[in-house]
Amino acid sequence: MVDYDQITSFLGEWGPFQRMVFFLLSASIIPNGFTGFSVVFLADTPAHHCQVPETANLSSEWRNASIPMEEVDGKLQYSRCSRYRLDVISSLSAMSLSPYVDVNVSEIEQERCLDGWEYSKEQYISTIVTEWSLVCDDQWKGPFTTSVFFIGVLMGSFVCGQLSDRYGRKVVLFATMAVQTAFSLIQLFSPSWEVFCFLFFLVGAGQISNYVAAFVLGTSEILGKSVRIIYSTLGICIFYAIGYLLLPLVAYFLRSWQALLLALSMPGLLYIPLWWFIPESPRWLLSQGRVNEAESIIQQAAEKNKVPPPSVIFAPDELEDMKSKGHESHDILDLLRTSNIRCITIISLLLWMLITIGYFGLSLNTPNLHGNAYINCFLSAAIEIPAYIAAWLLLRSLPRRICLTITLFVGGLIVLLIPLIPTDLGALTITLVMLGKFGITAAASMVYVYAAELFPTVVRTMGVGTCNTISRVGSIISPYFAYLGYFNIFLPYIIMGSLTILAAVLTLFLPESYGMPLPETIEQMQKLKSQPTSEALSGIRTQWAAVQGGMTVL
């Protein structure tokens, strides 16, 4: 029985056509990188304290003394949510008494910030926090804004597959890029925080749909088998990190949330010309019976690759073969059908969610780190590039379970060490945060490949898609781990480090897939705690012997 890869093998694996698709699809992911983490700057909370109106007619001495001091992380700073009663302060000021000599200010009754807040302009001209005063009693709205974005991502995960199956991968790719760009621009005119959140929800839904469409179009339906793993790790992941890298660079020069949002939205318009270069999926066209269009794309690819196409690319009997292979129907209950796949599914869902919590928790927590927020965000993005490269190198030659367990355990352990570092060693703390994120980011890249090898062909897309969807629950709650940093700077690291180590432990219960044939049916799935093949073990022994030999020389 022939399949699509066999029929189109005459195109080759890495011709000009494949290289064009590889880089254009990867480039389409760049806006996802800076949109996904733009909230780090859009919703950051600058230093603030209660506003003291000019109408209070206070002397400069009493104006300075009207705000209580409080200790935060061992440092004294102005209280963010209270002030001394202004009527009492005004009376004492009118009597020409000194707050530091004649009066014990700390005994004066306190009140809430009845006249609003004054925000530091040292780092930002404005954020959505200063725009709508999302502080004190409304402080929960800051992390909730990020959660709303990820709720949109969750909903987009549900519908993007159905939309692309019905309307085509290319149409959904560009439509959702348009949604992401258009609603980001409309956000500039948000009259309230509620409207901003609703639009942010739509941006999140568009962002994930764009990502999934590009992922499927490249990994499953245009690029060859030898290029797919490179595309899924070094392709879209690296370009996602490039977009993330651009975010702090742009934010450094644009300190207003409107200016930053405008700058991050406009590049989406540059992708309009790609419509004429990125083709529709020939596989999808064939599934819709549009054989002539599929053949036309293959012929254009052959022309770009300078190879002669056969006179008839898709013969009627071959089309029937491919059609019959896609007729087997499965639903989500098949992921729970037997005890073996049920255990693998549940462990995989937990694993994905815990990894996502660590990844987004550390990324969103950069404003709480010591030092410059822009440099910290840049380092958080930059560390992802070597992490993706390391993941690709490890996956080429080592068992999946070992790779994932080690990166998660080491990453989680490093994050747990952060609370032990003295607060005056800020550079060391940042170094540990970045090393911890290196491990978690590498694991986040590996888990896609691992899950695709664990689930059988008949439910592989469904299994990976379900894991990806459930992982969004982790991204929804991750902003609140960063939020805990406002109360205790070390609490987020204790929780995230513990959860990451838990994920490493859970990985040990999964089967090994390295060196194993991909399962085609649920019955062919490996059992829990299965071992690698003898060929894989032999390769590991050889590598370990080489390592020992190198250590002996040293």
CATH number where 248 lies:
1.20.1250.20
Task: Flag the least confident range among 216-230, 386-400, 532-546.
Answer: 532-546
Range of the domain at 284: 1-35+133-327
pLDDT cut 70: percent of the chain above it = 82
Q: Are 235 and 21 in contact (CB under 8 A)?
A: no
Tell me the angle at which helices 400-417 and 426-454 cross, rounded to the nearest 10 degrees: 160
Number of folded domains in the chain? 3
Q: Do residues 157 and 101 share a domain?
A: no
**541 residue type, one letter:** R
321 and 337 together in one domain: no
Q: 523 lies in a domain? A: yes
Q: Which residues contact 524 (CB under 8 A, 6 or more apart)?
A: 456
pLDDT for residue 521: 67
DSSP 502-536: HHHHHHTTSPP-TTSPPP-SGGGSPPTT----HHH
Q: Are residues 529 and 439 in the same domain?
A: yes
Task: Quote the pLDDT of residue 525.
Answer: 63
Give the C-alpha separation, 469 to 154, whole Å: 6
One-letter amino acid of 385: I
Question: Is residue 186 included in any domain, yes or no?
Answer: yes
One domain, residues 415 and 452: yes
Same domain membership, residue 151 and residue 82: no
**What's the DSSP call for residue 126?**
B
**Residue pLDDT, tens place only, 292-305:** 777 788 888 888 88
* Pairwise CA distance, residues 59 & 91, whole Å: 11
Strands 48-50 and 117-119: antiparallel
Residues in a beta bridge with 117: 50
As a whole number of angstroms, the distance between CA 465 and CA 156 comes to: 12
Residue 41 domain flag: no
One domain, residues 165 and 310: yes
**Cβ atoms of 172 and 163 closer than 8 Å:** yes
Model confidence, pTM: 0.79
Question: Are the C-beta atoms of residues 432 and 421 closer than 8 Å to each other?
Answer: yes
- Which pLDDT score is estimated for 75? 74
The pairing of strands 82-84 and 48-50 is unpaired
Four-point Cα dihedral 158, 160, 163, 166, nearest 10 = -100
Half-sphere exposure of 4 (CA within 13 A, CB side): 22
Does residue 423 sit within a domain? yes
Question: CB of 83 within 8 A of CB of 111?
Answer: yes
Position 339 scores a pLDDT of 75
Q: Which of 121-130, 243-252, 310-319 has the lowest mean pLDDT?
A: 310-319
3-state secondary structure of 48: strand
Closest Cα to residue 444, out of 378, 388, 382? 388
Could you tell me if 299 and 383 lie in one domain? no
φ/ψ region of 207 (left if φ > 0, alpha if ψ in -120 to 50, else beta) reads alpha
- Per the CB < 8 A criterion, the answer to whether 120 and 34 are in contact is no
Length of the chain: 554
Q: Is residue 127 part of a domain?
A: no
**Under 8 Å between Cβ of 404 and 450:** yes
The pLDDT, as a whole number, for residue 180 is: 87
CA distances (Å), origin 538, targets 529, 543, 547: 19, 9, 14
Last residue of one domain, picked from the residues 327, 349, 379: 327
| Residue where a domain stops, chosen among 86, 119, 152 | 119
Q: Are residues 63 and 16 in the same domain?
A: no
The pLDDT score that the predictor gives to residue 74 is: 66
197 pLDDT exceeds 90? yes
Residue 349 lies in a domain: yes
259 shares a domain with 112: no
**264 located within any domain:** yes
Residue 40: pLDDT over 90: no
Q: Is there a single domain that holds both residue 173 and residue 289?
A: yes
Looking at the domain assignment, is residue 284 inside a domain? yes
Q: Which of 119, 147, 181 is the last residue of a domain?
A: 119
d(C-alpha 234, C-alpha 393), whole Å:
10
What per-residue confidence (pLDDT) applies to 522? 67
Q: Are residues 463 and 535 in the same domain?
A: yes
Do 171 and 92 sit in the same domain of this protein?
no
pLDDT tens digits for range 101-134:
777 777 788 888 888 898 988 889 999 999 999 9
